[in-house]
Amino acid sequence: MALVLLPMSMIFIFLAYKLYNKLRFKLPPGPYPLPIIGNLCAMGAVKSRCFFEWSQVYGPIMSVWFGSNLHIVVSNPELAKQVLKDNDEQLANRYKNWTHSRLSRNGKGLIWADYGPHYSKLRKVCVLELFSTKSLETYRHIREDEVRAMVKSIFKDCTNPCDYGRGLVVKKYVGAVAFNNITRLLFGQRFGNEDGVLNKLGAEFVASLSKKAERGAFFAIVQEIWWLRWVLWPQRIGLAKILADEDQLKRAIMEEHMQGSQGQGEKKHFLAALLSLQEKHDLTQDNIGALLWGMVSAGMDTIAISAEWAMAELIKNPTVQWKAQEELDRVIGLDRTVTEADISNLPYLKCVAKEALRLHPPTPLMLPHRANANVKIGGYDIPKGTAVHVNVWAIGRDPKVWQDPYRFRPERFIETKEHGFGFLPFGAGRRMCPAAQVGTTLVTLMLAHLLHSFAWSSPASPEGLQPKEIDMSESPGLVCYMRIPLIAVPRLRLHQHLYKHML
């Protein structure tokens, strides 16, 4: 009897709650939610695409139910402005699902923290001390070293007689830059050698990151239904183990730093900077650990994803690749390699990076915000506690903002400089990415080296001489890699001695 009564009463509570909300609040329209699961089962794996399709039916502001949690998705610049500017403060909390809540220890770092004194303290440290223009200069040699190491490694692999003419997995090389850059920037250490072989600490590091990313579709649904979460006890144990391993790793890195046993490691890095600022900003070691650890995930995938998508577009659009190379040859020539100082003289290349971010923002729904008060967006009520997403992926394809939106045409950024809330790869407002400048610089520098040093094409398809079609679909997740990693064939453009003397 209890087995029948329990689900019945759950359905009754859900329907009563929905009715109450319907009468009390004027919510945005959206797909009809089923009891208990809401719209979860109808949702495609790649949410930005699914929400884009739904927005064509229900309009640019939609209600979507993740179980019994209300989420609002906005998909045009005017509504994005209302979220990120007009109601910025009221919508500055973070929505954390069950996994994010656990893995972030309920928002101990910056990324998943709710807006409040703890958040403001960490954000201030980030903006003033870690991502200032001065700091961008201080860590420039790290970016340049790592990008040069990437070129050297591609050169080595593509000139290997066994692999000559074979396609390379681009993600392997851009991912190594992103990983080494972030570990050197944060902890002053490279956790692997020149050939990409990880040391013990590095292997533990990578294992800990990949374990964090492993989750299944069943899990994704169940975690949104609070009264079903008891079935997640194996995952609960798994997450606790991930956090314990992470703590151990953090301690090992901190201890190495304290003992000054970094050998050839950097002297200047974020950990050292934060430890020296502990008193000034009232930071505990716990604060520092949480802040830096969050940045690993925020700053690693986003960089690799941006570079991989940009390369895919450049191979699909050989005229754009050729134009970018023509600019590089004109400004730099073929007798030396690129430096970061050259970027300001490469306006077309900068537009290539922007155009790639427009069509393929690495976090297509940004990171979820949450209302800390009742607000109105687009004339609809957004009750306190609601999760709010800005579909940056959809806005980048809005024909009202972008002419011929599906075409990869970097020139559009030369013709029109201001795109306001139509171009939001880094978000906007008080939760905007604090590393937007670093991110843009590193991605542009990677593209500069990749295009100056090599000409890129698709491997021939197995059927014939035609280049293989590139699959431009996304993998699901908060950050969206290419579903099928890009494979491309590099051809040398410079004299061999320049590759050999890269480092």
Q: Residues interacting with ligand HEM, by CB under 6 A?
A: 110-111, 123, 294-295, 298-299, 302-303, 306, 362-363, 366-367, 425-427, 431-435, 438-439, 443
Place of tokens 């089962």: 41
Min separation Cβ 366 and ligand HEM, Å: 4
Min separation Cβ 362 and ligand HEM, Å: 5
Min separation Cβ 442 and ligand HEM, Å: 7
Min separation Cβ 440 and ligand HEM, Å: 7
Closer by beta carbon to ligand HEM, 58 or else 426: 426
Closest CA to 63 of 380, 392, 473, 431: 380
Closer by beta carbon to ligand HEM, 177 or else 489: 177
Closer by beta carbon to ligand HEM, 27 or else 111: 111
Length of the chain: 503
Min separation Cβ 243 and ligand HEM, Å: 19
Place of tokens 């490469």: 346
Closer by beta carbon to ligand HEM, 324 or else 356: 356
Which residue pairs, CB below 8 angstroms and at least 24 apart, start in 15-18? 17/68
For residue 195, what are its two tokens? Answer: 């050939």
User: Are 138 and 340 spatial neighbours (Cβ–Cβ below 8 Å)?
Assistant: no
For residue 229, what are its two tokens? Answer: 């979460």
Closer by beta carbon to ligand HEM, 387 or else 498: 387
- Distance of alpha carbon 402 from its chain centroid, rounded? 23
Min separation Cβ 363 and ligand HEM, Å: 4
Min separation Cβ 47 and ligand HEM, Å: 14
433 among the known binding-site residues? yes
Closest CA to 201 of 188, 218, 214: 188
Task: Name the DSSP class of 62.
Answer: E
* DSSP string over 168-203: EEHHHHHHHHHHHHHHHHHHS--SB-TTS-B-HHHH
- Distance of alpha carbon 438 from its chain centroid, rounded? 13
For residue 172, what are its two tokens? Answer: 């392997």
User: Are 438 and 133 spatial neighbours (Cβ–Cβ below 8 Å)?
Assistant: no
Closer by beta carbon to ligand HEM, 66 or else 112: 112
Min separation Cβ 293 and ligand HEM, Å: 11
* DSSP string over 382-423: E-TT-EEEE-HHHHTT-TTTSSSTTS--TTHHHH----GGG-
State the number of CA atoms in the 13 A half-sphere of 351 facing the CB.
21
**Three-class DSSP category at 301:** helix
Closer by beta carbon to ligand HEM, 446 or else 498: 446
Place of tokens 């790639």: 356
Closer by beta carbon to ligand HEM, 10 or else 136: 136
- Binding site, by residue number, is 433
- Binding site for heme, by residue number, is 433
